[in-house]
């Protein structure tokens, strides 16, 4: 009964976290969403803490990813009970991560001061693992909830989205320690004195204030850089093609002609580049001569470069490889470059463990399993234009992919996607919000073109310059500034989450080796660089800024 009584605050934490993400987008709730979970963890054994953390995770992911049921039912043609079962299985897997966070806090944070310092370290480390384990699924990373807080997210050019997650969880932990002090309650038998409560409140406020000052400075610097930068006019074409009809051979020509008509409309505005969304052509580009000619003739008439998403097939007879690709078509109608999607969607574009799961089909049943392309490959287009870094569909939620493109010279990021799978659920809004961080992290303009929306433009400071609505025909064009600055994040990558993971690994390892060793002893015996890092994160000692 004691454990079950802790489940209500855990559920409240999960629901509050979901409220912070689009569609509702009440981003402020993320700054106190974890407090009920921390309240529930007080006095629990590590095993009970893990279960309580999983309850919070289940409440969060079942409500955040509810759209999985709609997608699998509508396009996977599965019965309702199987769709719900798949959602529950996915949520249960993802709930393991907040469960591990709760376990780490319960076992390694023996004092309230350690809780403030270590909770954000543990959370970021575990989020980072979720981004790559089993191919990775970083959807719903806490930092993404703050995409509309322009001044806060500027630190992403140093620490990526994980820097925002760190701030949010730090504030949650500090708020909880303050509540312990006000209520006169101890943490693990250790009382919270007035001095500790003051430090717990002041440290994150100072850190957040510093981030706001940094944000204002960087926004000003980016605006100045944009004023002095060259620009390109880019037009995105949102065809609004019904997913249920998209692959029907009877509608191939009608679909292609719709994009052709919208492209000719955009040509009147003299864009340097026209962009079509992911798999805009419902045929294999270059392998279907008549339909391909319809596209290339349009490009010649319009006299523009066209970036078009299309499935492609390559190889000899009997050994074909299929790709989810983007082709660059020059004004003379020649395809001058191709990008093949690198990070494929399990069960959407290929079936993992196919020998074992031979009975499972893909949602895109019209083609064979896709193969992965080459990471970091950019597309050249014209001698005077910067290379383009293309990301297809949910590749945009993986920071390392954008970073690899910019490191390889991309002066512009373009995300082609088909979010028709999501209907009018919150998924399309969540997906678009994550793209904002790729612009800020790498200080590049980002162009997004979606089949049914949301298409739009994001500037290097993270402002959403323009965006379309869902399920509308649209042609939107904007001048897009081209910057060449390499941010700290582009150069160095995920240093913060890797450092957090090392800290968690060292503390957990020392605990397991030393038995029930308090975290304080483990910290004292840890390498100097770890103690120095924690000192900096706590806002004291050398290196404080």
CA distance 65 to 426: 9
Compute φ and ψ for 463, nearest 5 degrees: -75, 135
Contacts made by residues 347-354, CB under 8 angstroms, sequence distance 24+: 349/324, 352/135
C-beta neighbour count of 541 within 10 angstroms: 13
Active site residue 246: no
Question: What is the three-class DSSP state of 229?
Answer: coil
Question: What is the three-class DSSP state of 64?
Answer: helix
CA distance 262 to 34: 47
351, 352, 356, 362: which is closest to 72 by C-alpha?
A: 362
Q: Dig out the tokens for 406 from the structure.
A: 């910019």
Beta-carbon-side half-sphere exposure of residue 471 (alpha carbons within 13 Å): 8
Q: Which is the catalytic residue, given 341, 349, 362, 500?
A: 341
Instruction: Using alpha carbons, list the distances in angstroms from residue 96 to 50, 63, 127, 356.
Output: 8, 16, 11, 24
C-beta neighbour count of 524 within 10 angstroms: 9
CB 383 within 8 A of CB 391: no
In this structure, what is the dihedral angle of CA atoms 223, 227, 230, 235, given to the nearest 10 degrees? 70
Question: What is the three-class DSSP state of 467?
Answer: strand
Q: Which is the catalytic residue, given 83, 211, 393, 500?
A: 393
Question: What is the three-class DSSP state of 132?
Answer: coil
Q: Which is the catalytic residue, given 127, 278, 349, 395?
A: 278
125, 131, 130, 132: which is closest to 104 by C-alpha?
A: 125
Axis-axis angle for helices 67-75, 80-108 (nearest 10): 150
Helices and strands in the chain, H and E counts:
18, 11
Active site residue 393: yes
Active site residue 257: no
CA distance 499 to 121: 9
CB burial of residue 69 (10 Å; 0-12, 13-18, 19+): buried
CA distance 326 to 311: 8
CA distance 283 to 527: 58
Instruction: Using alpha carbons, list the distances in angstroms from residue 8 to 3, 47, 57, 252, 544.
Output: 10, 17, 13, 52, 39
Cα 387 to the center of its chain, rounded Å: 23
Active-site residue list = 278, 341, 393
């Amino acid at each position: 009964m004691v454990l079950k009584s802790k489940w209500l605050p855990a559920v409240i934490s999960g629901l509050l976290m979901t409220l912070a993400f689009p569609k509702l987008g009440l981003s402020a709730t993320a700054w106190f969403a974890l407090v009920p979970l921390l309240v529930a963890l007080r006095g629990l054994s590590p095993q009970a803490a893990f279960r309580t953390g999983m309850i919070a995770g289940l409440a969060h992911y079942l409500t955040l990813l509810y759209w999985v049921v709609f997608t699998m039912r509508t396009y996977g043609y599965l019965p309702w009970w199987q769709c719900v079962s798949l959602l529950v299985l996915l949520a249960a897997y993802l709930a393991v991560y907040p469960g591990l966070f709760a376990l780490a806090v319960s076992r390694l944070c023996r004092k309230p001061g350690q809780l403030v310092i270590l909770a954000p370290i543990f959370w970021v480390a575990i989020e980072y693992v979720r981004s790559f384990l089993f191919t990775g699924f970083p959807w719903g990373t806490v930092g993404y909830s703050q995409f509309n807080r322009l001044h806060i997210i500027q630190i992403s050019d140093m620490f990526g989205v994980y820097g925002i997650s760190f701030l949010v969880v730090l504030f949650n932990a500090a708020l909880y320690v303050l509540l312990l002090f006000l209520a006169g309650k101890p943490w693990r038998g250790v009382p919270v004195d007035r001095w500790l409560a003051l430090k717990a409140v002041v440290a994150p406020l100072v850190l957040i204030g510093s981030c706001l000052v940094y944000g204002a400075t960087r926004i000003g610097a980016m605006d100045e850089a944009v004023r002095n930068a060259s620009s390109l006019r880019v037009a995105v074409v949102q065809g609004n093609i019904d997913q249920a009809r998209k692959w029907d051979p009877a509608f191939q020509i009608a679909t292609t002609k719709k994009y052709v008509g919208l492209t000719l409309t955009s040509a009147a505005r003299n864009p340097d580049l026209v962009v079509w969304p992911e798999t805009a052509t419902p045929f294999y580009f270059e392998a279907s001569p008549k339909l391909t000619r319809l596209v290339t003739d349009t490009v010649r008439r319009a006299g523009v470069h066209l970036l078009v998403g299309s499935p492609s097939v390559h190889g000899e007879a009997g050994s074909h490889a299929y790709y989810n690709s983007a082709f660059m078509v020059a004004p003379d109608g020649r395809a001058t470059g191709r990008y093949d999607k690198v990070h494929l969607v399990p069960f959407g574009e290929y079936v993992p463990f196919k020998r074992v799961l031979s009975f499972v089909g893909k949602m895109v049943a019209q083609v064979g399993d896709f193969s992965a392309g080459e990471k970091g490959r950019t597309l050249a287009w014209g001698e005077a234009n910067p290379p383009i870094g293309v990301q297809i569909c949910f590749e945009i939620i993986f920071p390392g992919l954008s970073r690899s493109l910019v490191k390889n010279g991309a002066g512009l990021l373009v995300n082609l996607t088909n979010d028709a799978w999501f209907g009018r659920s919150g998924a399309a809004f969540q997906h678009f919000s994550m793209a904002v961080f790729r612009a800020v992290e790498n200080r590049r303009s980002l162009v997004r073109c979606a089949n049914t929306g949301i298409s739009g433009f994001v500037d290097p400071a993270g402002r959403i310059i323009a965006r379309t609505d869902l399920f509308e025909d649209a042609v939107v064009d904007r001048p897009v500034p081209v910057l060449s600055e390499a941010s700290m994040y582009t150069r160095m990558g995920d240093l913060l989450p890797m450092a957090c993971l090392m800290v968690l690994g060292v503390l957990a390892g020392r605990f397991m080796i030393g038995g029930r060793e308090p975290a304080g002893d483990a910290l004292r015996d840890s390498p100097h660089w770890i103690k120095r890092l924690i000192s900096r994160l706590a806002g004291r000692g050398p290196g404080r800024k």
